Structure formats: structure tokens, C-alpha cells
Amino acid sequence: MTRVKKRDGSEEDFIREKIVTAIVKTGGKLEPARRIASDIEKKYSSRSTVSTEEIRKDVLDRLMKEDESTYNSWLENEKKKRR
């Protein structure tokens, strides 16, 4: 199973539903969110670790192409968290 290296250096198992939840919380629809999460899981399935930043970049790349509204909401949400 692929492990995710978090910003603080800790690691946890890759959990596809975390991506789905994050997309839905920012306004995305469930089925496209599941498809994106599944594709990202497949992309990294052969690796032992992947960083949260790599996952974030892949999610945003897909959202920018498939759902610009959710992409913009995701970025706005990140700005609010940094304040």
C-alpha cells in the first residue's frame, strides 16, 4: 500500500476517500470526485510513498480541466486556512 508523506514529515496510508471528501467539501460532485481519486490512487499505486503536495497538484490539475468552479473554491478554501 502506498503511504502519504505529510507536510510535518509523518506518514499515513493512502486513503482515496480523503480526496473524495476534500473535493466534495469544496463543491465538487461525488462521482467525478470518486473518478479523480481513483485515477490518482492508480497513478501512485506502484510507489511506496507520495507527498501530500504531489497529490494536491494532481487534484488541482484535474479540477482545473474538469470543474473550474470547484478548482476556484478549493483555492479560496486554502487561502482561508492560511489566515
d(CA 30, CA 61): 18
CB atoms closer than 10 angstroms to residue 52: 14
pTM above 0.85, yes or no: yes
Task: Locate 83 and state its grid cell.
Answer: 489566515
Do the Cβ atoms of 6 and 18 come closer than 8 Å? no
What confidence tens digit (pLDDT) does each residue in 22-79 have?
A: 999 999 999 999 999 999 999 999 999 999 999 999 999 999 999 999 999 999 999 9
Whole-number pLDDT of residue 83: 73
